[in-house]
Amino acid sequence: NAPAPLQASVVFDGRTDPVWTASARTRELDLSLLVPGMDAGTSTPMALDFKADGKGGQANLQGSFKQGDIAVELAPSKVGLADQVLTVAPLQVKAFGGQARLQGKADFTDKENASLRFSIVANDLTFVPAADTTTAGAAAPVPVTLKEARMGLAGTLKNWAAVGKASVEREKQTADLTFDVRGNDQAASIKQLLASTPGGSLDVTGQVAWAPQLDWDVAAKLAGFDPGYFAPGWDGKLSGALASKGRQLPPPAGSPAGTAGAYEATVDVPGIKGMLRKRTVDAQGKFALRGTQGEGNVKLAVGNSRLTAKGSVGDRLDIDAQLEPVNLDDLLPGSTGSLRGHVLVKGPRTAPDISADLVGNGLRWNDWSAEAISIKGRLPWQGDSGTLAVQGRKVQVGMLLDTLNVDARGSLSNLRLDAQTRNELGAVALSGGVRQQGQAWRGDLTALRIAPMKGDAWSLRAPATFSVQGSNFTLSDACLGAATGGALCASANWPREGLLVRGDALPLALVQPWLPPQSGRRMYLRGELTLDGRIRPRGNAFEGNFKVASMEGGIRLGDNARGELVRYDHFSADVEMTQAQINAKLGVGFQGDGFVDAKVQTGWDANAPLTGELYMNIARLYWLELFSPDIVRPTGLIEGHVSLRGTRGTPSLGGEATLSKFKGEFPALGLTFDEGKGSFTAQPDGSAKITAQANSGQGTLFVDGGLSWFGDAQPLKLHIHGENVLLANTPELRVIANPNLDFTLAGTAMQLRGSVHVPEADLDLERLDRGTSVSEDVVVLDPVDPEETPTSPLDMDLTVSLGDKVKMSGFGLKGALGGKMQVWSRPGREMTANGGLEVSGRYKAYGQDLTITRGNLSWNYNAVADPRINIRAERTIGDVVAGIDVTGRAQSPRVDVWSTPAMSQSEALAYLVLGRSLTGASSDQAQQVNAASAAISAGSGLLASQLGAKLGLDDAGVSQSRALGGSVIGVGKYISPKLYVGYGVSLVGSGSVLTLKYLLRRGFDVEVESSTVENRGSLNWRREK
């Protein structure tokens, strides 16, 4: 298990020219569990299904691979090795929506000069750049598709050629890549490497050698080149040149074998200008390196950013950088804010002087941010004349600091420091210093004050000293005390005497700043504890003891009046450590509502025996609200006994915990789950079996699954199913469903697979549109932080089907929904769907009831928010049938009015709106038809306004003309600040109008309209409030 079961097999049949099969399969493989030293945080689990069979050196291959968002399929392929000849006939891979095919052979008969001939053909590989999640209203990323690529590699190892062509498409425009590279076993020459984009090109020439030493001389010329075709997301148009020369120097004489030589290199950018990511670019620079010594200069202008830097690095540093300013989003996609100022670093590499005058505003990069920050001053490496001030506002460094002030004096090797910070939980102020003495650093903490927002302030009772040298450190007796008598003290002489801590009447509120918010709500702790402990290293183990106790306390979530979710008493935790053994005990009561008692005994070695017992009886379940912000005041009983056996490295568990008489309300969904029960049964293999059920409405929701005990690598797996389960019961939405889902949780990654059938539902569209108003007698508690909008880590593949009792009403519509669709969601990507829904019923449009005769919403692996619409609503008046068609995409629909027999659009609209011909209609009825026409033309108005903005017009769109007596689509422009000229064409019937408007004083203007129907003038007065 790594963490899911990995099944691999190889079977041979026969001694000479055997028939064989091989396979490997796993739903989840984490290489960090198999490769020593690999960081688990950087390893993404993968799924693998591979099969191979053959005879002798001939192989038939097939399989699939998936890791994160990358899915690769190895189509049926053939590879053979016989008489030192490798044959690929062919190898086919499907990925990124396309496929690639490798075919050819390599002959290794001549080991010194093998011959080869291969071809690669790729088609329709689509790459989508990451979406900009930090910029409001940012455009959706534009996919780039490798429509076709053909590459050939032929020749011998000492005389080969690689040639090829590729075609890349973006937004229906094409770029081409052509290359011709010739080489041998020591070097390659770039005869041609030409990338042609619409209106531009990139031409690369040069040569590269890798034997006997690395050596290169490469130059590139850009002429209107758009790199976005080959680096998705970096669209632009660049012109200029750059060149680089370099080589690896021979190692110094007398160096040990295997010593790598230093590098000598130059990079010269005389100038690159143009556009990149919709920003102007003007860059030039030069850099030279010889061994460990380098010097260079750069001048960069991107968008509104200006960066100038020059200097040298090596045994001494001399770096001078000017930011005038630098906007982070110009250089780092996804970041925001600007930095302005000057930085100077000068002096020996191990002891440089630093000067800075930097001001930043609105900074955000990954999880770090600052509304405002400034760094001003100079700190030399030695001496006592330096000063440096750091000031910040709304600084996020894992914790939000409302204000931050740091004043440093002296030098980097003899520094005095005063610092203050404050946030919603309190304030911290400290004073001290640190200085270098030989290989050690020694310092003193003269003052430290921690003032929680609630409760007494804690201050350092007396100055303390400390020292650090390598892994050794010392701390004199340092005590924080409160006016009410509480104290926390610590001292250390590590590793000789170890670390000692003791505390008395310590308020739990002191740890609140380090507690993560729960669904945007802050957690508040009440209570005091005593602490006494010591620890020191002994060989490969530690020895010491820790005792923690608290008489009583509680946990509250958010600023609410519902009381504490957890109330405890007689809490105690004791840990005794010797070089051979660890003994731990824990006990806590819940003020008459149950208890938890646990004890564990083991050793330091992974093979040390492990024994432990856990007993629990919990009759107050309000603490479940800590894990779900939607549940309110759950009740029930949890009781059980779990035992631990085996070894510390491979524990085994036994026992069972049960839940009975569960009841919980979910007000946001209008639900009450009752008669709930469940069990959590430990299994000897280190997993646990989970079963649960609860009633909702007329149905019962069941949950079956398991949970591993070996960390995040082993996921939680649940099968959720039921019949006629009430999943929502609010005035705006009532849903009865039959879920059949598989849910997996591994670390922070969630995976949902399965189907949901909805046999019955009622949707009130008007209530859903405006939201739910809260009754006056309801108090809304614990609001979620409206600024917190985390991206969902959900990986979903869900099939949704609707039955014949799914009804909806509102906005004049009374109808039903039916159909089936499949929905996919991937972390960081837009939700997509495939399938269709059908709409039926009657719709009140333009004051009349229309029958929906065709209503289709369809998806073809596109965004859920943008289905293809095909809706027809019609009305019959005598022998005339008039109707309206809505087609196209939801975000850009097309609306057409039609009739049988055929007639003009205005006449068909009259039958829809008035129920009769436009002939003889009153002025009010004609205006009603005009309003309908304007509504249909809303899409035209949006298009016109966008086009007008591109053309530099002040006004473009749909408006009303009193001279024509109806809606017009038109454009307009202010010739001067007071004179406006406009022209429009009627949307109903024929006609055009010319408008002249002249602005007078104090809100008055004169307007003249000349149309094909009539001419009119008016004096207008406007007052803005």
Least confident of 201-215, 640-654, 748-762, 984-998: 984-998
pLDDT band, residue 789 (cuts 50/70/90): very low
For the chain, how many residues are written?
1025
- pLDDT for residue 974: 73
Is pLDDT above 90 for 619? yes
When pLDDT is averaged across residues 564-580 and rounded to a whole number, the result is: 94
Mean pLDDT across 59-65: 92
Strands 716-723 and 725-729: unpaired
State mean pLDDT over 998-1015. Answer: 74
Distance in angstroms between the alpha carbons of the first and the last residue of the chain: 71
Nearest Cα neighbor of 912 from 966, 853, 848 is 848
Element (H, E) at 723: strand 716-723
Pick from 186-200, 482-496, 736-750: least confident:
736-750
Which residue type sits at 564? E
The mean pLDDT of 827-832, rounded to a whole number, is 74
Whole-number CA gyration radius for the chain: 37
* pLDDT on residue 421: 95
Rounded to whole angstroms, what are the CA distances from 381 to 314, 378, 384, 470?
17, 10, 9, 21
| Rounded average pLDDT over 647-669 | 88
Say yes or no to pLDDT of 1021 above 60.
yes
Q: Which helix (H) or strand (E) holds 289?
A: strand 279-290
Q: What is the pLDDT of residue 808?
A: 85
User: E strand or H helix at 933, and its extent?
Assistant: helix 923-936
Q: What average pLDDT does the segment 169-185 reach?
A: 91
Q: What is the pLDDT of residue 947?
A: 41
Over residues 567-571, mean pLDDT: 96
**Mean pLDDT score, 49-61:** 91
Picking from 548-552, 727-731, 794-798, 842-846, which range would have the lowest pLDDT averaged per residue?
842-846
> pLDDT category, 939, cuts 50, 70, 90?
very low
HSE (CB half, 13 Å, CA atoms) of 930? 20
Considering only CA atoms, which of 553, 543, 348, 528 is closest in space to residue 455?
528
Tokens at 214, concatenated: 């690395």
Does the pLDDT of residue 956 top 70, yes or no?
Answer: no
Backbone angles phi, psi at 930, to 5 degrees: -60, -40
Separation CA 763–CA 773 (nearest Å):
16
Write the CA distances from 567 to 455, 555, 589, 686, 847, integer angstroms.
20, 7, 9, 32, 61
pLDDT of 784 reads 39
Do the beta carbons of residue 232 and residue 129 sit within 8 Å? yes
Does this model's pTM top 0.75? My answer is: no
Confidence category of residue 584, pLDDT binned at 50, 70, 90: very high
- Would the pLDDT of 799 be above 90? yes
State the pLDDT at residue 955: 66
The yes-or-no verdict on residue 922 having pLDDT over 80 is no
Taking the C-alpha atoms of residue 424 and residue 513, their distance in angstroms, rounded to an integer, is 9
Higher pLDDT, 928 or 511: 511
Q: What is the dihedral of CA 458, 464, 465, 468, to 10 degrees?
A: -30
pLDDT at site 892: 72
Task: Give the pLDDT of residue 944.
Answer: 44
pLDDT, averaged across the chain: 84
Distance CA 563, CA 601 (A): 37
Mean pLDDT is lowest, of 483-492, 945-954, 1011-1020, for 945-954
Q: Give the residue-averaged pLDDT of 905-917.
A: 71
pLDDT, position 311: 94
Q: Whole-angstrom Cα distance, residue 120 to residue 102?
A: 5
Tokens linked to 17: 């020219």
389-393, 662-666, 922-926, 1012-1016: range with highest mean pLDDT: 389-393
Over pLDDT 90: what percentage of the chain? 47
Other CB atoms within a 10 A radius of the CB of residue 653 amount to: 20
Predicted confidence at residue 875, as pLDDT, reads 83
289-340 residue pLDDT tens: 988 899 999 999 999 999 999 999 988 999 999 999 999 999 888 889 999 9
The better pLDDT of the pair 687, 194 is held by 194
Range of lowest pLDDT (484-493, 563-572, 1007-1016):
1007-1016
Residue 357 · residue 257 · CB < 8 Å: no
Per-residue model confidence as pLDDT tens digits over 143-167: 888 999 999 999 999 999 999 999 9
Please state, as a whole number, how many other Cβ atoms lie within 10 Å of the Cβ of residue 418: 17
List the beta strands (DSSP E) in 483-540. 487-494, 498-507, 523-538
State the average pLDDT over residues 32-50: 70
104-148 pLDDT per residue, tens: 999 999 888 999 999 999 999 988 877 666 555 566 777 888 999
Confidence class for position 576, pLDDT limits 50, 70, 90: very high
Lowest mean pLDDT among 62-76, 164-178, 765-779, 839-853: 765-779
Mean pLDDT over 950-957 rounds to 53
Which residues fall within 8 angstroms of residue 330, CB to CB, at 6 or more apart?
279, 302, 303, 304, 305
Find out whether 275 and 297 touch, Cβ atoms under 8 Å: no
Q: Residue 500 pLDDT > 70, yes or no? A: yes
Report the C-alpha gap between 1011 and 994 in whole angstroms. 6
Asked if residues 500 and 476 have their Cβ atoms less than 8 Å apart, the reply is no
Q: How many CB atoms lie within 10 A of CB 558?
A: 20
Name the maximum alpha-carbon separation found in the chain.
Answer: 109
pLDDT at 847: 55
Give the pLDDT band (50/70/90) at residue 796: confident
Q: Across-strand partners of 529?
A: 506
CA–CA dist 241, 807 (Å, integer): 65
Would residue 34 be called left, alpha or beta, if left means φ above 0 and alpha means ψ between -120 and 50 degrees?
Answer: alpha
Cα angle, residue 96 at apex, residues 91 and 99 outer, rounded to 5°: 30
Q: Report the relative pairing of strands 794-810 and 749-764 from DSSP bridges.
A: parallel
Angstrom distances, CA of residue 428 to CA of 389, 459, 641, 808: 17, 10, 44, 57
Whole-number pLDDT of residue 215: 94
Average confidence (pLDDT) over 525-545: 93
pLDDT at residue number 686: 67
Q: Which residues of 69-108 are buried (b: 16+ CB within 10 A; e: fewer)?
A: eeeeebeebbbbeeeeebbbebbbbbbbebbbbbbbebee
Confidence of residue 950 (pLDDT cuts 50, 70, 90): very low
| pLDDT tens-digit readout, 692-723 | 999 999 999 999 998 875 544 456 889 999 99
Can you give the pLDDT at residue 117? 94
Which pair of structure tokens corresponds to residue 236? Answer: 């632009």
Q: Tell me how far apart the alpha carbons of residues 277 and 331 are, in angstroms, rounded to a whole number.
A: 10
Over residues 176-196, mean pLDDT: 94
Task: State the DSSP code for 866.
Answer: S
